[in-house]
Structures are given as C-alpha cells and as structure tokens.
Amino acid sequence: MKSKLVVLAGPSGVGKGTVVRELVRQKPQVFLSVSATTRKPRPEEKHDDHYVFLSDKEFKNEATNGNLLEYAEFAGAWYGTPRKPVEDRLNKNQVVILEIDLQGARQVKESMPDAFMIFLKPPSIDELKRRLIERGTEKPEELELRLKVATSEIEAENEFDAVVINEDVQSAVEQLIRLLNLT
C-alpha cells in the first residue's frame, strides 16, 4: 500500500472520532494520529488513547520547537498534531489519518500539499445540533459557539478533495474505505 497522509476534518459533533475509530477497527493497518490538547479530559478519555493531554506550558513548548504539524485554539483550549508519530508512520508506508478541525486542515494542506483532504459533513445543521446536545459535553453557550463555527466550516467543504456525509457511522466508514482504496 502506498503511503498516504489523510486529513479528516469537519465540524465539532459530526462524529469524526466515532467514524475514525470504526475505520481503524475495521482496517487496523490505518494509523490514527492522536492529537495533543490543553483541555481537560472528559470522563471517558484516556491519555495517549483519545488525546495527549498537555499543560499550556508543555503545549507552547511543543509548538515553539516545531514538534506540531498544525495547531489551533478552539473554545479556550489548544489542539495540535504531534509531528514525530505521523512522520514515523509515513516513513513506514502506512496510511495515517489526522482527525482535525478546519483551521488545522488548512495548515496541513499548506505544509503537506499531497495530503488527501476529506470533509466529514453532517446530514443537516439540525442533526448536528441534536448530536451535540445528545453528547452532553458542552454548556449552552459552548453549544451555540460550536454550531456557529460549524455553519461557517461547512461552507468550506469545496476546499477538500472529497466530502463524506455522516448519515450513520457504517456508511461513512464504507465511503472512507472506498475513497482510500482500503478494500
């Protein structure tokens, strides 16, 4: 299999994490890059599994030293992609998926123009709102911010090489498998 860097971006709550975890479960040859963040872990999240949880100082040092492929601030926390694990896997000819936001996707595309860019889109804004409410991790003001940002992010879908609508997890995964020639 040819080495590929794949960027999967989409609005908060669209199901990026769920879809990518299922893709990796079905296709274990795919490496999911674990993002770093300064936000506090949610109850179900584990360090090095869901995120690399860093202090503000640690994150700033990683960014300053060029150890992040991309990084951005969202909702009061910093998020970024550690460079070394991605480069190590690409050097081993593995497919690497970055599950990141639009701002990060744009940074990766600028520094690594051969990256294959996929936008994961909700069936509708109403469905996205329902998913965010059901997730129950945001306060009402955070929910409104995420929906406002989501609306503008969806307008950027034409910047991507492909768009996958996440009607349900299995059909989204099947579309990704076809797009990435992982059959």
Q: What is the pLDDT of residue 49?
A: 82
This prediction has a pTM of 0.85
CB 123 within 8 A of CB 165: yes
- Residue boundaries of the structural domains of the chain: 4-179
Residues 6+ apart with CB under 8 A from 52: 34, 35, 36, 37, 82
Confidence of residue 1 (pLDDT cuts 50, 70, 90): very low
110-151 pLDDT per residue, tens: 989 999 999 999 999 888 888 878 877 778 888 788 788 888
CA 94 to chain centre: 18
Which one is the CATH code of 4-179: 3.40.50.300, 3.40.50.2300, 3.30.300.20, 3.40.710.10? 3.40.50.300
pLDDT score, position 167: 94
